[in-house]
Structure 1
Amino acid sequence: MEWTAAIADLDAAGFPMLCALTPYGDAVFNQRQMPLLLAELDRLPAACGGEWVAQARELCQVVERGSHLYLWFLGD
């Protein structure tokens, strides 16, 4: 995912899951957080979009279907 100012400027109240992402830190989401993360991805502003959104959705679905799985975003 390309880090942009649009992602950094997301409102934490409206996008609490995605606001956990930073360009240098890691963020881990568990199975119970997947519906929240997917909902945020669905309403993400176009300026924040890109191929990474579709890839993140696919990975969220993998985590939802499995057990003891996590979705990790690794910072630089």
Structure 2
Amino acid sequence: MKAGIGDSGNVAASAKAGVKWTAGFADLDPVEFPMLWALTPYGDAVFNQRQVPLLLAELDRLPADLGGDWVAQARELCQIVERGLHLYLWFIGD
């Protein structure tokens, strides 16, 4: 899965690391992790400026075995979305 930031169809930034999909993502509690639970290996997920703080809080609680380089890169992209206007964080499935 790749992550990037789009503004009116243009990519403002992107991540180099992808999410390594494991069964652990499917097992996340949708009540405790509603933003991360939206991720699927084949579909896209889009987060707006109001959802990004929720996503960041979930990344803080993410089990270590689901982490990796993608988490730090997702945090950086979240910060760009928070500072910008009309930006969205996209996780693009395979």
**TM-score by structure 1 length?**
0.97
Unaligned runs of 5+ in 2: 1-18
Distance 2:25 2:68 in 1: 11
- Equivalent residue letter for 2:42: Y
Give the paired residue count.
76
Normalised to the residue count of structure 2, the TM-score between the two structures is: 0.79
Sequence identity (%): 80
Corresponding residue to 1:27 among 41, 45, 50 = 45
Task: Say if 2:72 is the partner of 1:54.
Answer: yes
When you count strand as a share of all residues, which structure comes out higher? 2
* Off by >6 Å, runs of 4+ in structure 1: none
Distance in 2 between residues matched to 1:39 and 1:2, nearest whole Å: 20
Structure 2: how far apart are the matches of 1:31 and 1:8? 24
Which residue of 1 is the match for residue 24 of structure 2?
A: 6
Instruction: Point out where structure 1 has 5 or more consecutive residues left out of the alignment.
Output: none
* Superposed CA RMSD: 0.6
